Structures are given as structure tokens and as C-alpha cells.
Structure 1
Amino acid sequence: MLDESLKTQLQGYLARMSQPIELVATLDDSASARELDTLLQTIADLSGGRIRVRRDGQAERRPSFAIRTPDGRQNLTFAAVPLGHEFTSLVLALLWAGGHPPKVEPALLEQVRALPGEHEFEVYMSLSCHNCPDVVQALSLMALLNPGVRTTVIDGALFPDEVARRNVMAVPLVWHNGAVLASGRQSLAELLAKLDTEAPARAAEALAAREPYDVLVVGGGPAGAAAAVYAARKGIRTGVVAQRFGGQVNDTLAIENYISVLQTDGPRFAAALQAHVRHYGVDLMEGQSVQALHPATEPGGFLGVELAGGATLRARTVVLATGARWRNLDVPGEAEYKNRGVAYCPHCDGPLFKGKRVAVIGGGNSGVEAAIDLAGIVAHVTLLEFADQLKADAVLVSKLKSLPNVTVLTQAQTLAIEGDGQRVTGLRWRDRASGAEQTLALEGVFVQIGLVPNTEWLDGVVERNRFGEIVVDAKGQTNVPGVFAAGDCTTTPYKQIVIAAGEGAKAALSAFDYLIRTPLPQAQEAVAA
């Protein structure tokens, strides 16, 4: 189950525990229960006596196990065999329960401890979901820090009847006190904002009091991270404001084309970006949405970046690195059945469609890769491409066509996604060659038709092209003085991580050049000081 290298690493991690804990297992005679029992015993054997396994649990879900802390609380339960992407979540939970301090901002930890009331969380995940660990780890930490919080982590593949009853068709999905609270990737700060209604006002007040920045980066993906590092290394005051650090990289699995890094995955790469930025003392403001950019009122003056919470950050220069998001089909039924059969991440949600019929929309690399991955899980995949041929790399197309449970439809225009009011039941499409309309009976639709830049909030302020991309020159300068842009949100061709990082560095250097050549107006010198 765990190879020798992983066992050695795990043994080293568990040595950091400062207090003993128990793992209370509730087992049955299933193969999954035997696998879980083996995993728990292996962990105990590697813990040097810090962890003991009990098998007398009486939990409702079998197999499962609870972490029992020294004070006798069992507030965190895994109804899962937490391997795959969730193995890290398990290790962190063991360390936190065993007294090892979490690497989380002190203000967030205090907010968790002070959260009033009783909170029962159930988070549904899949072991192949790279978006799920953030949510699982946030809710695990809350359960271990606050006596009023109880969290159960549920692998949907182990409890298909429960998943069907609760209509769970996308992960991560969080239930709170018997009702759906959130779906999709959520940070600890975002989850707390949903629970602590006064938190946004407190955060806005604190943000509004920040001193002006020399360079303020909007966006935390590769372009934003590179811009922040290059600006901070110049010794100037640098800040980053982002909804989630790493951006779209978090939704990428294998990364094998970033020069000098043979292979990594998106979440690991995003964590490395964040660590690099923090190393240079950059003021990182995560979990913040930006809603407006206010140009300076005079040459060299402060620009304003207005946040959704009401605060406005001031800066002499701004680097826009807001990236892009999945493009929607914009057909009837898509919005209605999102997370109820309409999905955008085959790695996350694919296991929930085991043995079912699904469609993939899009014949580029992303679409063909999604179809190949899903073919190993579902009963049948139908791939629909609007053009007369697939646009993916030849090697991917060849692999796709070799799979017996895949049908490829070209010149296929998706017209609507149909359902019964609760979940997807079919997809209506038109054959562009003949004009005939047909309906596919299926349970899931995975949309893979490219990206759209996150730039709507800049309408009327910064010049954009007809695709919504920010128009930049060779130095990353926009049409607004002091405003630069980089990455997938710009007109720079080829949306690649390595290109975004390079463009972010260029934008920061251009911003620094602008700063040394543009004096601050006298009226604002005192404010900056």
C-alpha cells in the first residue's frame, strides 16, 4: 500500500507529534475495510508509539475511522481510505491532532477558535480530485481546533447509495448542519467568511488601512507570482491580492514542460509559487475578489484597486495577472445542471460517474485527454467537436480512437443539456453536415472548450480585444499609465505556464522602470511616507 520511500517519509513526519492520539476504526468485512485497517496499522507501526489503533468504533458509515485527541474528542472522521490526493490531508490531520502547529496565518487560527455555535460538516470528495484537499484540510483543521466543529470526510466512491440519495454529482461538496454550504475548491478563509458573517467587514477595514504599494499585483498564478518576486527583489513595497493563490494551475494535474522541472503537479507547483513569494516578504492578500480599477488622477499618482468587500488598495503601479477560467457552453440547461451532471473537471468528478454514460464537449487536447481519462471509469464516452476534425495532438487522437467505449462526433453543435429537474438525462445536438438534430441519453456532460480571460471588471478602463484579453505592448504596458498586465489574461500568444511566468517578470521590471522615471506628486509624497 505504501512503498518503502513513503513509509520513511511518513515516519519522519510522525516524529514531529508531541502528544499521543488514537485512531478509532469502524470496520466491516469489505475489501475497503481491510485496506483501511492495513493503512491504519501501518501508520501506528511507524509512529513510534504515538498513535494507537482501536477497532471498536460504532460510526454510522463503514468503513471509517475517527481521530481521537488527548482530550477525548472525536470531532474528525474519515469515511474513506485516504490515499491518492488525500494522503497529505491525512498526514496533516495526524500531525495537527498530535500537537504539531499548522502553517496557517495566526489571524485565521484565532478566527477558527473563536467561531461560535455548533457546526456539523460533511465533505464529499474523491481520491483523484486535486481540488478537494484544500477543503478537506480546512475543515479538518476546524474540527481539531474548535470543540463546536465536527467534520466527516466522505469518499463518494465508497458510499454510492448516499451519493445518489443526496444527488452529489461534483466534488468537493460541503454540507453544513444538513444543508449544502459550498461546492468547488474553498480556502479556509473563504469557508470562514461563509460562517462568520462579520469577517468580511473586519477584513475590509484592515485592508483599507494598508499603506500604499509601489507594485500591487492582482492575481496569484504563475504570472502574478513571478511579478511579485521580481518586484520584491528590487526592494520596493509589493503586495499580491488574489482569490486563490496558484490560480488555474491548481486545476492542472501533470506539469511536465516547465523548464528544469521534469515533472510536478498543479497543487504542488502552486504551493511552491506561494512559498517563493512569501520568502521575499510580499504582502499576500488571499481570498479577495477585485471589482474595479481606478486610474490615477494625475501623472505618477496612486491607482486604486477596489475589492468586493468594499476596501480600496492604493498603489503607484499595478500588474494585472488575473488569468482565465473555463469557458461555458452557454446553452440551455448548462447553468441549471451545473454540479448536477454538468462538470468541468474530469479528474475531480469522473469517479462519481462510474459505470454511467457521459459526453465530453471539445476536441482539443483538454477534451481528448478528458475523454481518455473518463473512458477508464465510465461505461461510455461520446466526444463532440464543433469543427470537422479534432484539434488535439495526433498521439492523443490515436489513443482516443483505440478505446472501445468512446464515440467521436465531429461537426457536432451542442444545442441543449436536458434533465429531469434533479440531474442531467441527455444532450441535444445538431449534425452540422446534415442539419439533423439528435439527443444522446446520458448522465454527465464534461465541458472542455477552452478559456475566457478574467477581465470583465476592467470594462471601460483598460483596453481589451474582442476576446476580452488585455492589450499589452512588448513591455507588458497597457493603455493606462502605471498599469501593466501579464499571463493568460493578455494578448500575449500561447497560454503556457512558462510564458506566463516570463511575462510576469517582464511586467514587474517594466513597472520598476516606470517608478524610477515617474516622480510621485508632492501631494501624495506625505501619504506614501
Structure 2
Amino acid sequence: MLDANLQSQLKTYLERVTRPIQITAHADDGAKSQEMLELLETLVGLSSQISLDVRRDGAERTPSFALTTPGQDIHLAFAGLPMGHEFTSLVLALLQVGGHPSKATAEVIEQVQGLEGEFRFETYFSLSCQNCPDVVQALNLAAVLNPRIQHVAIDGALFPAEVEARQIMSVPTVYLNGEVFDQGRMSLEQIVAKLDTGSAKRDAAKIAAKAPYDVLVIGGGPAGAAAAIYAARKGIRTGVAAERFGGQVLDTMAIENFVSVKETEGPKLAMALEQHVREYDVDIMNLQRASALVPAGDDGLVEIKLENGASLKSRSVILSTGARWRQMNVPGEDQYRNKGVAYCPHCDGPLFKGKRVAVIGGGNSGVEAAIDLAGLVTHVTLLEFDDKLRADDVLQKKLRSLGNVTIITSALTQEVLGDGQKVNGLVYKDRVGGDAHRVELEGVFVQIGLLPNTEWLKDSVALSPRGEVVIDDRGQTSVPGVFAAGDCTTVPYKQIIIAMGAGSTAALSAFDHLIRTNVPKSSGAVAEAA
């Protein structure tokens, strides 16, 4: 199951283990149980610290296995085979159960350890989901740090009856004490903030007490990360306020056009971005959403108001809030989101195996999604508003070669239908003939482009008709001292590498603005750097 090279790498990792790891497996005579046992026996052979106890006792979930260590009260388990994207989750769980410290901040670790109550988490994942490992790894770590937290990560594809009973149609889906806790990508900080209801108020108080910055970056995607690095390297006081560090990159599956890197995945790149930024003296404030921008007054400071009630001030600001998936805005979309309406075919596609789905959008993203889904589902109906597909020819040829795909152009989606619990159909209007048609299906994947995250800037910064921040070739906005970069701007091409270049440009422009502006008493860093 693990080739020689991977076993060699894993053996090196396991040398970091400082205490015994006890694996208790629940198996039967099925093929998946045999695969699980093969994997676990391989692990035992790679480290003398690992022992395996196999039980054939008809456990609630089979195949499954739990990890613990003598003398520690740890409740951490995998139901299924954590390969694919989840193999890293298994490796990290082994290391952390085995005593190797995590990379979480001391503040977050203290928060987790201080949580009071009983927390029994269940996370449903799919092996093709790039969003799931963040959630699985966060809750695994929480289970290692706090004996009152239990976590089992469940491969939904291996437990279809359970998935059907709970009507799970999106991964990751997390249950807490038998009730839905949340869905979608979550970091450990986000999970803790939701459990620790007083954390937002404490964070707001800390933020309100912060001194003004020389450069404040709003957003933590590629543009924001590049801006922060370039600003910090100038020796000036730099801060980053981000809703989630990594931004839209976290939701990107394969990246094959990042120059000098042959191929990578979004979450890996996002992690590398944050690690690079943390190499510098940058004040990173995660889980912070901006709500308003107030241009500089007599004090020369731009104010950014946050949704938690706090405010940050800075001599210059770089807006890099990125974009999000565009929604159809039709009846039924909100009602059936994560109940058949999905936006990530890689994540949620396996949950629709053997079912009928629609893909909305005929651009590259839509056609790629239809191709991927065609290998899993019974039938794909692709609906495109225009009179022709807009995807690259090579993708169109591949799509048209598939026997279980129907392509409908000049189609205006009008409504998502359901039975109150999940999707069971879709209505579209033929834009040529005017007739309405119903398609019977169980899933709708929306792939119709992006919207800039700029609604909060409508009254302060000039925006294009599409809601993008208007910038010049230096990244300057309509407000002095406020710059912007990345997918939230009027830059014509929304690409990771272009966003990074734009973020660097904005930071250099901000620095140029600072050295040409009188330095207020609250900040002397620029004078020294200049």
C-alpha cells in the first residue's frame, strides 16, 4: 500500500515520536478491513514505538482504529482508511499522540486545553476533499490536547448508510454530541472560537489596544501574504487582518501553473505562505472580518473597523480581500446549500456516487467539474447561460466524448427544487424558446465564477460596476494611502502568481507613500527605515 520511498519518509518522521503509540483496530473479513490492517502493520514495522491490537468484535464502525498512548487520556480515531488527502492527517495524528509538539500557537493550545465540558466530535470526510484535512487535523489535535474532547474522522464513502441516515451531502460535515456543529473548511482557531463564546470579546479588546501600523494588510491570500512580506522587509510596523489565512487558495485543488513549482495543492501553498509571513515581524490577526474603511483624518491614520466591534489604524492600508464563489441567487439555492447544492466537485463529488447531478456554468471550471463528476455519478447535465460553452477546446472535446453527459446551452436556471430535506430537481428556462423545463436530479454544482469581497467598501473606495476595487498601475485606490491587490481589484487576470506580484507592487507603493508623507508621532519606524 505504501511504496518504499513513502515508507522511508514515514520512518524518518516517526523517529520524532517520544512515547509509545497504541493502535486499537476494529476489523472484519472485508476487503477494506484487510487494507486497513495492511497499512497499520506497515506502521508497526516502521517504529518500535507503535503497537497494534486487532479486535474482531463487531464495533459500531468497521473498519476503524483508535490511537492513544499509555498514561494519557486521548480519544482519537479514524473510521475507514485515511489515505488520499487524509494520509497527512494520519501522520500528524501519530506524531502528536506520540508526543511530538504541534505547530499551533501557544495561545491556541492554551485555549483548547482550557475548554470545559464534554465534546464528542464526528467528522465526515471524503478522500478527494482538499478542505477536509484541515478540520480532521484540527480536531485530532484538540483530542490530543484535551481529554474532554473526543474525535472520530469518518470516510463517508465507506459508511453510506450512516451518511444517508444523517442526510450528509457535503464534506467536511462535523457533528458535536450528535448534532450538526458546522460544515466546510475550519481551522483550529475557528473551532475554538465557536466553542469558547467569550473569545471574540477578548480578541476585540486585544485588537482595540494595538498601536497604529505603518502598513495594514486586509486579507491573507497570495496578494496579502506578498504585501506583508514586502512591507515587513522594509523594517516598518506591519499587520495582517484576515478572515482566514490563505484565502481562496485553500479551496483550490491542483496548481500546475505556479512558475518554478511544477505542481502543488492549494492548502500546501497556503501553509507555505503563512509560514513565510511568520518568518518576519508581522502581526497576524486571524478570524477578523473588516466592516468599514474610514479615510485618514488629521492624524494621518486610516481606520479599519472590524465586525467584532474593534478598530485598527494604520498610516497606509492594502486591501487584498480576494473573491468568493458566485451564487445563482435563485429560489431553493440557500435552502438546499449543503443538502444537494454544492460548490466544490472535488470535495463533495464522492457523496453523489451513482446519482444524477447538474453543473451550472460552461467555463473552464464548470466543464472540468462535469468531467470529474462524470466518472462518479450516473449522469451529469451541464447548463450554460450563453449559447455556447466558454471552456477551452480541449476540455470541450473531452466533455463531449463522455456518454453520461448532457450539455444544454441558452439555459437560465430558475429554481432548485427539493423535498424539504434535500435536492430532487432543478428548473431552467430555454432562453431561445422561452419554455421552462424540469430536470430530475439529486445534486447541483455551481461553477459560475467569482465575486469580489468588497461590499464593505462601497461607501469609501471607488469600485467598478462589477464591484472590483479600481486601482492604477501602482495599486493605488481612489483614497490616499489606501492600496489594493489581487482578485478583489480591476486587475484583468485572476491568477495566484499575478496576485502575488500585485501584492508586492502595492506594498512597495505603500512604502513610497509613507516616506513621502509626514510621520505622525505614533510611528517612527518609517523614518528609521528611510
Question: TM-score, length-normalised on structure 2?
Answer: 0.97
**2:270 partner SS:** helix
How far did residue 3 of structure 1 move?
A: 1.5
How far did residue 281 of structure 1 move?
A: 2.4
Cα distance change, pair 327–466 in 1 and its aligned pair in 2 (3 A): same
How far did residue 520 of structure 1 move?
A: 2.7
Instruction: Write the deviation string for residues 88-118 of structure 1: whole angstroms up to 9, x where unpaired.
Output: 1110011000000000110000000010010
RMSD: 1.4
Q: How does 1:345-494 map to 2 (within 5 A)?
A: 345-494=344-493
Q: How does 1:199-348 map to 2 (within 5 A)?
A: 199-298=199-298, 301-348=300-347
Determine the C-alpha separation between the residues in 1 that align with 2:224 and 2:468. 16
Q: Structure 1 residue 10 and structure 2 residue 36: aligned?
A: no
Residue 26 of structure 1: aligned partner: 26
Determine the C-alpha separation between the residues in 1 that align with 2:424 and 2:198. 41
Instruction: Write the deviation string for residues 353-402 of structure 1: whole angstroms up to 9, x where unpaired.
Output: 00000000000000000001101111111100011110000000010111
Residue 501 of structure 1: aligned partner: 500
Instruction: Write the deviation string for residues 417-450 of structure 1: whole angstroms up to 9, x where unpaired.
Output: 0000000000101111211111000000000000
Cα distance change, pair 276–525 in 1 and its aligned pair in 2 (3 A): closer
How far did residue 78 of structure 1 move?
A: 0.5
Determine the C-alpha separation between the residues in 2 that align with 1:150 and 1:71. 16
Unpaired runs of at least 5, structure 1: none
State whether residues 235 and 526 of structure 2, in contact with CA within 8 Å, keep that contact through their aligned partners in structure 1: no
State whether residues 131 and 250 of structure 2, in contact with CA within 8 Å, keep that contact through their aligned partners in structure 1: yes
Aligned residues: 526
**2:120 partner SS:** strand
Residue 160 of structure 1: aligned partner: 160
**1:434 partner SS:** coil
Determine the C-alpha separation between the residues in 2 that align with 1:148 and 1:525. 45
State whether residues 428 and 439 of structure 1, in contact with CA within 8 Å, keep that contact through their aligned partners in structure 2: yes
State whether residues 75 and 147 of structure 2, in contact with CA within 8 Å, keep that contact through their aligned partners in structure 1: yes
Residue 185 of structure 1: aligned partner: 185
Residue 54 of structure 1: aligned partner: 53
State whether residues 214 and 523 of structure 2, in contact with CA within 8 Å, keep that contact through their aligned partners in structure 1: no
Q: How does 1:101-120 map to 2 (within 5 A)?
A: 101-120=101-120
**2:467 partner SS:** coil
Q: Which amino acid aligns with 1:80?
A: G
**2:315 partner SS:** strand
Cα distance change, pair 231–72 in 1 and its aligned pair in 2 (3 A): closer
Residue 96 of structure 2: aligned partner: 96
State whether residues 213 and 523 of structure 2, in contact with CA within 8 Å, keep that contact through their aligned partners in structure 1: no
Residue 512 of structure 1: aligned partner: 511
How far did residue 73 of structure 1 move?
A: 3.2
How far did residue 147 of structure 1 move?
A: 0.8
**1:466 partner SS:** coil
Q: Which amino acid aligns with 1:51?
A: I
State whether residues 23 and 68 of structure 1, in contact with CA within 8 Å, keep that contact through their aligned partners in structure 2: yes
Residue 171 of structure 2: aligned partner: 171
Instruction: Write the deviation string for residues 214-267 of structure 1: whole angstroms up to 9, x where unpaired.
Output: 111111111101101111111111111111111111111111111111111111
How far did residue 56 of structure 1 move?
A: 2.2
How far did residue 527 of structure 1 move?
A: 12
How far did residue 286 of structure 1 move?
A: 1.4
**1:310 partner SS:** coil
Deviates more, 1:274-283 or 1:6-15: 274-283
Determine the C-alpha separation between the residues in 2 that align with 1:245 and 1:74. 29
How far did residue 30 of structure 1 move?
A: 1.5
Determine the C-alpha separation between the residues in 1 that align with 2:271 and 2:198. 29
Unpaired runs of at least 5, structure 2: none
Residue 128 of structure 2: aligned partner: 128
Cα distance change, pair 370–66 in 1 and its aligned pair in 2 (3 A): same
How far did residue 149 of structure 1 move?
A: 0.6
Determine the C-alpha separation between the residues in 2 that align with 1:289 and 1:192. 17
**2:214 partner SS:** strand
Determine the C-alpha separation between the residues in 2 that align with 1:69 and 1:369. 44
Determine the C-alpha separation between the residues in 2 that align with 1:32 and 1:519. 68
Determine the C-alpha separation between the residues in 1 that align with 2:288 and 2:520. 29
How far did residue 282 of structure 1 move?
A: 1.4
Determine the C-alpha separation between the residues in 2 that align with 1:210 and 1:354. 51
How far did residue 280 of structure 1 move?
A: 1.6
Residue 36 of structure 1: aligned partner: 36
Q: Which portions of structure 1, spanning 4 or more consecutive aligned residues, are displaced by more than 2 angstroms?
A: 56-59, 524-529
State whether residues 66 and 74 of structure 1, in contact with CA within 8 Å, keep that contact through their aligned partners in structure 2: no
Determine the C-alpha separation between the residues in 1 that align with 2:218 and 2:251. 19
Determine the C-alpha separation between the residues in 2 that align with 1:9 and 1:526. 48
How far did residue 14 of structure 1 move?
A: 0.6
Determine the C-alpha separation between the residues in 1 that align with 2:294 and 2:202. 23
State whether residues 21 and 68 of structure 1, in contact with CA within 8 Å, keep that contact through their aligned partners in structure 2: yes
Identity of aligned residues (%): 60
Determine the C-alpha separation between the residues in 2 that align with 1:506 and 1:526. 23
Determine the C-alpha separation between the residues in 1 that align with 2:260 and 2:473. 26
Deviates more, 1:502-511 or 1:261-270: 261-270
Cα distance change, pair 28–201 in 1 and its aligned pair in 2 (3 A): same
Question: TM-score, length-normalised on structure 1?
Answer: 0.97
**1:213 partner SS:** coil
**1:61 partner SS:** coil
Determine the C-alpha separation between the residues in 2 that align with 1:288 and 1:13. 34
Deviates more, 1:490-499 or 1:276-285: 276-285
